Amino acid sequence: MSTTTADHDTQAPAAAQPAHLLSFGGDLENLIDPERLAALQASYARDFAALNAALARGEVPSGFDDKRFVDTAWQAQPGSAGIAAIYLLNSRYLHALADAVEGGRKQRERIRFMVEQWTAAAAPSNFLMTNPRAMQALVESEGETLRKGIGQWLSDAANGQILQVDPTPFKVGESLAVTPGAVVYENRLFQLIQYRPVTPSVQARPLIIVPPCINKFYILDLQPKNSLVRGALEAGFQVFMVSWRNPDESLAGLSWDDYIGDGVLAAIDATRAISASDTVNAMGFCVGGTLLATAAAVAAARGEQPCESITLLTTMLDFADTGVLDVFIDEDHVSMRERTIGSLAPKPGLMRGTEFARTFSMLRPNDLVWPFVIDNYLLGKTPPAFDLLYWNADSTNLPGAMFGWYLRHTYLENRLREPDALEVCGVPVDFGRIRCPAFIFASREDHIVPWQTAYASRQLLGGESTFLLGASGHIAGVINPPAANKRHYWAAPSAAADASADAWLGQATRAAGSWWPAWHAWLGQHGGGEVPARESLGAAGYEPIEPAPGRYVAEPA
């Protein structure tokens, strides 16, 4: 945003007229009730006049609570403080205008999203000449920060994404995903990892984990201190993990049916055979939960119930409210994907992992985009070494045909939730046929899977269900080991499955710490009793192929 505070007697600069800076296919002001618009304009005029008067008196604005401007360099110079204050005022006004828009839900969401993108990009902290901290560093380093910043920008431009993490300390299988185990089955789509027990006895019924196929599985096994896998092993469970293949062009034609039949159901069958158990406890995370529930419904339509229980972590089965991701979905977008990389394309292609990464970063631009622009390019810093950000940047492709089916039948049409509306693997899908107990977990601040949407799964599943609500977001809410003694969760054991999300929350009580022990206790009720842990991994016909984490997870996008 370009503005000046040098001459306070001049008329407000262009940056002070934000309503005219955006166009959403028409005049934004015409989408707002005239009385509300007049009130917003009057409020803005008063606030801007007061700010302009304060700046004219040489006063440094106070009350900066935005993390982008907390550095003392912003308050040390009246000009910089004024630029930041004007920007924040304009930003608040633009967001107020967006919130006041009348019309359809999707239109309002898209306007809010675009306003967020524009205001995040226009922050004066993002530009060298208006960032006093960057200018100070430039002078003190005699230009070295700019030299390093330009070099990093050129490198990022060549790679097609902003470097968010120093990758040097991390290597999958050495510093990440180090829980001991072996690959005991594989096909073209996934490897099945069996982890080595760490307790003398284990629950007879195994736990198989289905991670999202749009990310690599080791988010659930980052390091021993925060590994959900290790936590389950220490609680006395046999643990198996699906490690999805990172598809290349040869797998671009794989379908949703392939991910169900050759993926989840094949993994469940192999786990049952290796553990000599008729049924399994199965857990799915994010879209892995959608795949797991679909597979369980396919099995039920065939007269089978291979799951003794299912756990769904931050999972959507009902896509009526998909949160901020909904701004990307409409008929034109889905049709374009189908024609270019999906089932209607002359040749199926891939949904590239780097595009996923950019999209998810755009959902939180002030956390996952612009701070790295400032640190990498303006300050010439090396990004931090952070395991979660390393995983986040380790992209995964998806087959175009599978991705197109998923977009159309879930996000766009929401037909997967309708009993028998769709056929998968040749049978009609109805989540109501899944009779086993379900444990459903959601994160209260999740911007990818709104917690109320995750809660809606209770009304679709045919068995009894338990719901827990954790604090924090999509990842941090799930990866919350007890030893860290962080955060909290809410539980309402007596709440009926047909209660609304708000009614459930009204009955819930807050508990400190991790939700993992509560899940372990619930899972233990379906474990089948303790048996001695086996020393060897695999079984006849399922001999170990290679040590965990296997080679599939190492494949780059």
pLDDT at residue 8 greater than cutoff 50:
no
Compute CA 162 distance to the chain's CA centroid, rounded to the nearest angstrom.
Answer: 18
pLDDT at residue 11 greater than cutoff 60:
no
Q: Which two tokens stand for residue 244?
A: 């999805």
CA-based max dimension of the chain:
85
End-to-end CA distance of the chain: 36
Closest CA to 163 of 6, 353, 377: 377
Q: What is the pLDDT of residues 136-151, one digit of tens each?
A: 999 999 999 999 999 9
Closest CA to 217 of 207, 229, 226: 229
* 286 part of the active site: yes
Residue 17 pLDDT level (bands cut at 50, 70, 90):
very low
Structural contact between residues 469 and 495, judged by C-beta atoms closer than 8 angstroms: no
Residue 63 pLDDT level (bands cut at 50, 70, 90):
low
Closest CA to 462 of 435, 423, 493: 435
Q: What is the pLDDT of residues 440-458, one digit of tens each?
A: 999 999 999 999 999 999 9
Q: Which two tokens stand for residue 18?
A: 């934000």
pLDDT at residue 165 greater than cutoff 60:
yes
The vertex-375 CA angle with 128 and 169, nearest 5°, equals: 160
Structural contact between residues 251 and 186, judged by C-beta atoms closer than 8 angstroms: no
Phi-psi region of 529 (alpha: psi -120 to 50; beta: other; left: phi over 0): left
Q: What is the pLDDT of residues 222-252, one digit of tens each?
A: 999 999 999 999 999 999 999 999 999 999 9
- The answer to whether the pTM exceeds 0.85 is yes
For residue 281, list its beta bridge partners.
207, 309
pLDDT of amino acid 59 = 81
pLDDT of amino acid 32 = 86
Q: Which residue has the higher pLDDT, 365 or 58?
A: 365
Q: What is the pLDDT of residues 378-423, one digit of tens each?
A: 999 999 899 999 998 898 999 999 999 999 999 999 999 999 999 9
Which of these is catalytic: 286, 307, 425, 436?
286
For residue 101, list its beta bridge partners.
32
When pLDDT is averaged across residues 6-19 and rounded to a whole number, the result is 34
When pLDDT is averaged across residues 364-386 and rounded to a whole number, the result is 93
Label residues 235-254 b or e (16+ Cβ within 10 Å = b).
bbbbbbbbbbbbbeeebbbb
| Strand 280-285 relative to strand 509-512, pairing | unpaired
The CATH fold assigned to 181-324+428-483+513-554 is: Rossmann fold (3.40.50)
Structural contact between residues 187 and 266, judged by C-beta atoms closer than 8 angstroms: yes
For residue 441, list its beta bridge partners.
313, 468
Half-sphere exposure of 398 (CA within 13 A, CB side): 23
pLDDT at residue 9 greater than cutoff 60:
no
Structural domain boundaries in the chain: 14-140, 181-324+428-483+513-554
Structural contact between residues 241 and 193, judged by C-beta atoms closer than 8 angstroms: yes
Closest CA to 507 of 457, 462, 455: 455
DSSP state for residue 539 in the 8-state scheme: B
Q: What distance in Å separates the CA atoms of residue 125 and residue 132, rounded to the nearest whole number?
A: 8
Closest CA to 27 of 19, 17, 39, 37: 19
Provide the residue type at 153 as one letter. Answer: W
DSSP output for 487-530: -EEEE-TT--TTS-HHHHHHH-EEEES-SHHHHHHHHHTTS--E
Long-range CB pairs of 360-368 (<8 Å, 24+ gap) are 360/392, 360/448, 361/162, 362/117, 363/324, 363/325, 363/447, 363/448, 364/447, 365/116, 365/117, 365/120, 365/121, 366/68, 366/120, 368/164
pLDDT at residue 315 greater than cutoff 80:
yes
Percent with pLDDT over 70 in the chain: 94
Residue 355 pLDDT level (bands cut at 50, 70, 90):
confident
Q: Which residue has the higher pLDDT, 488 or 494?
A: 488
